Amino acid sequence: MNASAPSGLRRDDGFGGRGDDFYELLMRAHEGLDEARSAALNARCLLLLANQVGDIEVIRQALDAARASLAPPAQ
């Protein structure tokens, strides 16, 4: 990331209206995988994409937002 660029989690449509295309790719990547292999694929994708982002503050914000979006545990 450019050192002079502002750091922060992107909130606009980064897919330029093609979010459904991304979702389709993600679902295809998981086809035929059991739960353990699907979780492993998710972890590998997360690491590859985090490396691509390369900005620890943006990654921290993304992880915080993802965790905050989880439903509370069932009682």
SS3 19: helix
Inside any domain, residue 1: no
Inside any domain, residue 60: yes
Inside any domain, residue 24: yes
Over 70: is that where the pLDDT of 3 sits? Answer: no
SS3 53: helix
Q: From CA 65, how far away is CA 59, in angstroms rounded?
A: 10
User: pTM for the complete prediction?
Assistant: 0.75
Given a contact cutoff of 8 angstroms between Cβ atoms, the answer to whether 40 and 34 are in contact is: no
Inside any domain, residue 30: yes
Over 80: is that where the pLDDT of 6 sits? Answer: no
Inside any domain, residue 40: yes
Query: Tell me: the pLDDT tens digits for 35-73?
Result: 999 999 999 999 999 999 999 999 999 999 999 999 888
Inside any domain, residue 4: no
Inside any domain, residue 29: yes
Query: Rg (Cα) of the chain, in Å, rounded?
Result: 15
Q: Please, how many CA atoms are within 13 Å of residue 49, restricted to the half-sphere of its CB?
A: 10
Domain that holds residue 54: 19-68
Q: How many domains does the chain have?
A: 1
